[in-house]
Structure 1
Amino acid sequence: MQASQNLEIQNQSTNMEAETATEEGLSLIKQLASCNKSGRDRALRVLLKTWLPTQLNLHDDHMKKLWKGLFYCVWHADKVPVQTQLIDRLSSLVLSLHLPLSIHYFSAFLLTMRREWSGIDALRLDKFYLLIRRFMASFFALMRNNLWDLELVKRLMGVLEEVTFFADDKFLGNGVNYHIASVFLEELRPYLPLKAEVLEVVLVSFISVSAKVPDKVLLGKIRSNMFDALLGAGKRLLEVKKLGEDVGSGDEVMVFGSIALTMGFSSKFYELGSSPECCQGNRKVLFGLHEEFLKLEKELESSGIEISIPDVVYNDDEVVPTLVPLAGEEMEVGNSEPSEVVMVNGSAEKLLKKCKNREKDTGAADTKAEKKKKKKKKNKKENGILDSDSEKSSTDRENENVVANDAV
């Protein structure tokens, strides 16, 4: 009975603390739209460094309010260095928050950009273009940090499609969609090559978007910035191979060209172009791309040249994101712990286990070494050959071992 009462009191206390933290966060969020720079900077620093990272999840209305405030922080940032630091800081949070909160944060960012897009004047457009580009880079970095887990890739691509390309929010935010389509392949480029099943989710989804969206401008952006670029690379790669010339595995022609030649895009364009879900006005574009890719694939087949997407083995070593400090905030260099920085979706636990195992192994090795040294000293004492020089050299060796172990 007493135990249950104590548990109830503890739960009530926890709930009260959570409510207090939420109220404090909401109070700080209101200050983000302030014209007072010092108050705005202080609220931003506390929210991003202390408050948001401690939240396991956030109510949707609170996340929207947070992003409305963050939007106006970017709006008020006039000097280029301040803009860049702030944008890098906001986008890097995608990599450091707990995974569900990170996805929610990214989704709210897209929604906010679409909602506010029509109110952005021409003088401020460039910094918001940069903001979108940086978030797309973090979007792919989050997939990379999770070793391109197929379920997570599908989930993230689903969020991107639902909140932007297939959004029914009635906002005048098509410019956001256009810019994402324009930079998507460029921001994906540093992470290529990828496994075919990942590319299937990441790229083929844009064929579905091309079939179903009634927006002709978006259709043109997807065609020119993605599939025309892949098609051109495929043609150049085939020409180079016919001439017997070598192409580096990391060369853009090889990376994009192998995708164009091996992913079977022609049949996918034909299938979706023939689908009842395809917009009537989009069929001509899809069938045109079908013919272009089919011609390229047949040319590859008749040439007898073998081209394939290379086998990719994803490294499970964690890549810790570099967080950019806010304006006026010093970057903390010392006493950094990976467990505090890499909060990405439980993969931090794997890293911690590796570190602990390494420590155990090192500790065991050190214990054995010490036992051997003690035994050796004992024998030397018995033989009367232990002198000050030997003690000095032994101490030096021990110090070197300590430094080496610290470095490990």
Structure 2
Amino acid sequence: MAASMQLQPAEVYFAQKLAANEKKIRDRAVKKLRKYISVRSQSVGFSEDDMLKIWKGLHYCMWMCDKPLVQEDLADTLSNLLQCFDNNAQAFLFIDAFFQTQCREWFGIDRLRLDKFMMLIRRVIHQCLLMLKIKKWKVTLVKQFLSILEKYVISDSDNAGPDGLKFHLADIYLDELSSVGIDSLKPDVLQIFLEPYCTMMTRCQNKHLVSHVVNRIFKNIIDQSDVGKDEEEDVSEDEGEEENQDTDKAPKLQFDYTAIADKLFDLAKGNNCLSRNRPAIYDLVKRFKDLAAGIFPSDDIIGSSDEDDPISNADFNMAVQRLRKVEKMGIKKKKTKKRKLEETHEGSEEEPKKKKKKKSKQVVKEDESQINGILDKEPPKKKKNKCKSEQQSKSESNDKNDELEGEGHSTTRNLANNSQKKSRKLKNAADNADSFVGGIGESNGVVSTKKDKKREK
């Protein structure tokens, strides 16, 4: 075991300890990693593979962390690791490995763990901006940081990163800039921070992402301007609302609106700009020029909603007429179908009614024959009555067979077969009745012979 531990790289060892199940082991690993980074970054430095291994362990250290307060503390400690690097190249390599890891692992994060990773991204962005503030917002360092964001997040290519990460960065971008550089950021540096989003709008094919960037970046800049604040104050005074004095005295980011308008205009007139994104960009150009002139734009910004392009009145009326024609055709088709169905139902209902009537006649005749058979069961006094009853039953059965045969020709074959079966049953019933009557007659004869013998005696 000791030999295997010596051969194992230090980064792999830290990754295993950072992803442990027990919190004590993870906390010790984070403390040791902080010391290890501060020592090695000054001497040998890290490679890209080493940074990716470390961030893989840190990612799953955040994955295993539970409870909101503990997660906030861990997010602060992981983002503060950036301050351990004295070398700028090693610090930017650490940032690059972080965004590369998040883009790779983003789709494996479930909805229950997504909030804490979004919080971790916000804290890392905050620490990156603090590092640039310590370096006094050097243009080379700012551009190097923005190149990492353009590589993984603020990009129009599909291979850059997941859309969820792009949406989240657009939500927190201006907030973190204002929280860190509200006093020290100048308009020319802010213009550099906005350039990646300006270029992304010209070539982005996702209309939902374009509208989100317009709302969360450029529309917020318009609303936070001095002209926008004055407009809000006038509206609040008219409505009778009261505002706190602290919010009025709060400092704001100072943007150069003419520079933003010129940058957007230059990008929109280029060949690389998509034609469907040009209306929204030109509308922003007009609004930023109005802000520079001291006029607040009150209408809605084109492209700020996810809806499609507006439809003219002529096209709308033509679409309504087409829909009405389609509805009329559909109603006619439904009516014809209903008529056909009603005709088929009526024809199918008439046939079984006729059949039911014929069957009912047969049932009445069968009932009459059965009643007559029961009445004929009275014991005859002479043998002539027995012969007559047999002849009558036979004649009735023959008459019934003749009637059934006549009706069978008029009805279907199935009804004829059923009538024949019923006639056979009636014959059997008549034979049984005759046998029953004969038995009664014999018993009466036996009784009469006994009485005659008694009389002779």
Please report the TM-score for the alignment, with normalisation by the length of structure 1. 0.61
Distance 1:172 1:147 in 2: 30
Of 190, 193, 201 in structure 2, the residue corresponding to residue 210 of structure 1 is 201
Distance 1:162 1:271 in 2: 22
Q: What are structure 2's unaligned runs of at least 5 residues?
A: 1-5, 236-243, 297-457
Change (3 A) 1:41 1:240: closer
Cα distance, 1:267 vs structure 2: 1.9
The answer to whether the 8 A contact 1:113-1:173 is kept is no
Look up the equivalent residue of 2:222 and give its one-letter code: L
Q: Which residue of 2 aligns with 1:225?
A: 216
Cα distance, 1:120 vs structure 2: 1.0
Q: Is residue 34 of structure 1 aligned with residue 8 of structure 2? A: no
Distance 2:61 2:70 in 1: 11
SS in 2 for 1:55: helix
Change (3 A) 1:162 1:150: same
The answer to whether the 8 A contact 2:17-2:26 is kept is yes
Change (3 A) 1:238 1:297: farther
Look up the equivalent residue of 1:292 and give its one-letter code: R
Q: Is residue 174 of structure 1 aligned with residue 163 of structure 2? A: yes
Q: Which residue of 2 aligns with 1:147?
A: 136
Change (3 A) 1:108 1:251: farther
Cα distance, 1:74 vs structure 2: 0.4
Q: Is residue 135 of structure 1 aligned with residue 124 of structure 2? A: yes
Q: Which residue of 2 aligns with 1:120?
A: 109
Cα distance, 1:253 vs structure 2: 7.5
The answer to whether the 8 A contact 1:249-1:255 is kept is no
Q: String of CA shifts for 1:123-161, please: whole Å, max 9, x gaps.
A: 111111111111111121011110111111111111111
How many pairs are equivalent? 277
Cα distance, 1:217 vs structure 2: 2.9
SS in 2 for 1:121: coil
Cα distance, 1:44 vs structure 2: 2.7
Distance 2:191 2:49 in 1: 34
Distance 2:158 2:48 in 1: 15
The answer to whether the 8 A contact 2:62-2:74 is kept is yes
Distance 2:46 2:134 in 1: 23
SS in 2 for 1:122: coil
Cα distance, 1:228 vs structure 2: 0.1
The answer to whether the 8 A contact 1:114-1:174 is kept is no
Q: Which residue of 1 aligns with 2:285?
A: 290
Q: Is residue 76 of structure 1 aligned with residue 67 of structure 2? A: no
Look up the equivalent residue of 1:192 and give its one-letter code: I
Look up the equivalent residue of 2:182 and give its one-letter code: L
Distance 1:291 1:272 in 2: 14
Q: Which residue of 1 aligns with 2:426?
A: none
Look up the equivalent residue of 1:153 and give its one-letter code: V
Distance 1:277 1:292 in 2: 23
The answer to whether the 8 A contact 1:236-1:253 is kept is no
Of 225, 228, 232 in structure 2, the residue corresponding to residue 236 of structure 1 is 228
Of 181, 187, 201 in structure 2, the residue corresponding to residue 196 of structure 1 is 187
Distance 2:156 2:38 in 1: 28
The answer to whether the 8 A contact 1:111-1:164 is kept is no
Map 1:314-333 → 2, pairs under 5 A: none
Of 22, 28, 36 in structure 2, the residue corresponding to residue 51 of structure 1 is 36
Cα distance, 1:259 vs structure 2: 1.8
Distance 1:242 1:80 in 2: 41
Q: Is residue 268 of structure 1 aligned with residue 254 of structure 2? A: no
Of 255, 273, 283 in structure 1, the residue corresponding to residue 252 of structure 2 is 255
SS in 2 for 1:158: helix
Of 98, 102, 113 in structure 2, the residue corresponding to residue 109 of structure 1 is 98
Distance 1:172 1:163 in 2: 5
Q: Which residue of 2 aligns with 1:89?
A: 77
Q: CA RMSD in A?
A: 3.1
Distance 1:231 1:185 in 2: 12
Distance 1:143 1:179 in 2: 21
* Identity fraction in percent: 28
Q: What are structure 1's unaligned runs of at least 5 residues?
A: 1-19, 302-408
Distance 2:202 2:249 in 1: 27
Look up the equivalent residue of 1:68 and give its one-letter code: K
SS in 1 for 2:278: helix
Cα distance, 1:76 vs structure 2: 0.5
Please report the TM-score for the alignment, with normalisation by the length of structure 2. 0.55
The structure whose RCO (Cα within 8 Å, separation 6+) is larger is: 1
Larger-gyration structure (1/2)? 2
Cα distance, 1:238 vs structure 2: 5.5
The answer to whether the 8 A contact 2:191-2:259 is kept is no
Cα distance, 1:249 vs structure 2: 11
Look up the equivalent residue of 2:252 and give its one-letter code: V
Change (3 A) 1:41 1:275: same
The answer to whether the 8 A contact 1:136-1:187 is kept is yes
Cα distance, 1:116 vs structure 2: 0.9
